[in-house]
Amino acid sequence: MGIKRKTYYIKSTLVSLLIFFLGLGGVFNRWQNYCYDSYSELRLRTGIMETPVDPIIICINEASLQELGRWPWPRQMIADLITEIASSNPQVVGVDLLFTEESNEKDDKALGAALSLLHNSVLIDRVGLKACYGLLGMRIKIDHPESVIPVLKRKITKTGFADVLPDSDGVIRRVPLRVRVNEEEKKSFVGEILTLTKKKSLKKDFKESLLLTFGRELESFTTISAADLLLGRVSSNQLNNRIVLVGVTAPGLESDRFRIPVVKMGEIPGVFLHAYALATFLSWKETFEVHPMVRLIIILLAGWMGGYPLYGGMVKGRRRALYGFLALTMMTFTLPLIFFLFGIYLDPAPLFLAGLSNWLLVFIEEFYKLRTEERRLKELFSKYLSPQVMNQVLRGPRPDLNGQRQTITVLIADLRGFTAFAESKTPEEVVKILNCHLSLMTDIIFTYGGTLDKFLGDAVLALFGAPLSQRDHAQRALAAALAISKLFSENSKYLPVGIGLSTGEAMIGNIGGGKRLEYTAVGDTVNIAARLQELAGPGEIWATVDTVTSGEKQSVVSEWRVMKLRGRETLVRIGIIKSEGS
């Protein structure tokens, strides 16, 4: 592994660790809550959860209050309700009614006597839960607990706290299962019921809190009106060996109604909240939260993968940033959704932020490198290329400046008679006239997409097909040579030129030593073009056969020759093109 890649993994790990600890501290709770609510709505619509064998709810509903009187009822009436329930021999009865204050002695004793008829009974009390957030996540504190009055507590099996902890937005997404009060562990109302059903061992299997599963409609729970049961309109036999919950469902009792993630259900009575918690454990696949260490590993992987499509070169070209972002988005949202549908909750917020942070980290770094490279290329090629070709080079794949073998066409154009012409001119005039001629040739070379390699005194050397690859480089070079020859031959104020053209392989790149490097071409192709330029007369273009036969300009060849060039052993076939008046 290279040093740069190691550096990337170190940076990515540090960023991911920071996001992990911020998540433990509750920084992303709002986003986490939104995702959980969206997933809950989706799971409710998909209907993949099985219909459970759920608790039966005895509802003290609006109809019961209208028939039997306003709430709160006398405890004697509640005792009658409990007695009727006990006659059917239920498995466990959970009474979601708070009895922390004494009423009158007669009614309290009557209620106690009714509760004693139940084999397994649980009453609610309060422990005053408060949530505190820190770097290690949520911790629960106890404040002002309230206990069931002694006369009832002696008659029942268990008491369990019914406190819940809404999130910062007031929505209930989890219920606590156990807390420590005065160094002793105390179980929740739901936890005690589960223990009495012998379905779970709280000491071994229970966590501190339970994520609720809302995989069914509220109306799917079996409910019986308390008035119907008390007045004998329904039989209590259906309660036999079932878990029974007793609670108030009549609207208007705001202290016992709670918001849940499934928006369309609105606020639900507390007894239904307990029913959802029981059903989550007893019949549905529980929604498990990923262990913090597993979550850390996944966040680290998301962070590493977030920037790797950019840094690791998995996707080439300028679109790799977009591909990397799309892959990151799909991974960090689709994967948690699939997990959630199968009962595993993986918070997508830290995953996405870890991946996005590392994606941005690498993107900014790569963007800076790209701009630096573009500036370097502009500095290197701005004197060789036209602005249009320069833009094409910057948009396309970067040329290999270290040197690469490439098929190109070399053009060398030399002013004929310039030395004799300059003898009668002042140095200032010579420079002015030379610049004018070279500028005209350069403009034509740029017009046909050529690269200005260098000026050789009163001659110009140009490349076609480098650094930007061109399929028709020979045609472009020949067209540029014809345009130069025509311009300088037909206008008497310009000196005529002799041009040599050669097509073949050459080494292209930065050539030189030390701190002085020059982008140029070297090889036999360049040497042939130089020899042909020396042989070409004023207004003539001498070109190799590969140059002339590559395009549609063969008809302009005035003469064909096969000859041996200076410094070469093999014969070369040459096409000679003469301009008018040459």
The reply to whether 76 and 206 lie within a common domain is yes
The reply to whether 360 and 433 lie within a common domain is no
Q: What is the mean pLDDT of the chain?
A: 80
pLDDT of residue 297: 84
pLDDT of residue 1: 46
Q: Is residue 161 part of a domain?
A: yes
- Helix or strand or coil: residue 54? coil
- What pTM value is reported for the model? 0.58
Q: Is residue 505 part of a domain?
A: yes
The reply to whether 118 and 20 lie within a common domain is no
Instruction: Compute the average pLDDT of residues 507-536.
Output: 84
The reply to whether 159 and 266 lie within a common domain is yes
The reply to whether 19 and 164 lie within a common domain is no
Tens digit of each residue's pLDDT (9 = 90 or more) over 129-169: 776 655 555 566 666 778 888 888 888 888 888 888 887 77
Tens digit of each residue's pLDDT (9 = 90 or more) over 2-30: 446 677 778 778 888 888 888 777 777 77
| Amino acid (one-letter) located at 196 | L
The reply to whether 147 and 247 lie within a common domain is yes
Tokens 């403009």, residue located: 443
pLDDT of residue 493: 86
Q: How confident is the model at residue 204 (pLDDT cuts 50, 70, 90)?
A: very low
Poorest-confidence range of 69-78, 84-93, 384-393, 466-475?
384-393
Nearest Cα to 154, choosing from 194, 197, 121?
121
How many domains does the chain contain in total? 3
Which of 245, 265, 284 lies at the terminal end of a domain, its last residue?
A: 284
The reply to whether 356 and 280 lie within a common domain is no
Domain containing 447 — which CATH number? 3.30.70.1230
Q: How confident is the model at residue 305 (pLDDT cuts 50, 70, 90)?
A: confident
Q: Residues near 502 by Cβ (< 8 Å), separated by ≥ 6?
A: 409, 410, 525, 526, 528, 529, 532, 543, 544, 546, 547
Look at residue 260 and tell me whether its pLDDT is greater than 60: yes
pLDDT of residue 205: 44
Q: Is residue 518 part of a domain?
A: yes
The reply to whether 425 and 303 lie within a common domain is no
Residue pair 288/343 in contact (Cβ under 8 Å)? The answer is: yes
Residue pair 403/508 in contact (Cβ under 8 Å)? The answer is: yes
The whole domain housing 368 covers 3-25+291-374
Distance, in Å, from the CA atom of 297 to the CA atom of 260, rounded to the nearest integer, reads: 30
Look at residue 372 and tell me whether its pLDDT is greater than 90: no
The reply to whether 407 and 549 lie within a common domain is yes
Look at residue 379 and tell me whether its pLDDT is greater than 70: no
The reply to whether 506 and 572 lie within a common domain is yes
Q: Is residue 43 part of a domain?
A: no
Which of 284, 299, 321 lies at the terminal end of a domain, its last residue?
A: 284
Greater pLDDT, 55 or 286:
55
Tens digit of each residue's pLDDT (9 = 90 or more) over 486-499: 999 888 888 999 99
Q: Is residue 124 part of a domain?
A: yes
The reply to whether 252 and 322 lie within a common domain is no
Q: How confident is the model at residue 314 (pLDDT cuts 50, 70, 90)?
A: very low
The reply to whether 178 and 295 lie within a common domain is no
Q: Is residue 40 part of a domain?
A: no
Q: Is residue 551 part of a domain?
A: yes
Tens digit of each residue's pLDDT (9 = 90 or more) over 223-235: 999 999 998 888 8
Q: Is residue 389 part of a domain?
A: no
Which of 344, 374, 404 lies at the terminal end of a domain, its last residue?
A: 374
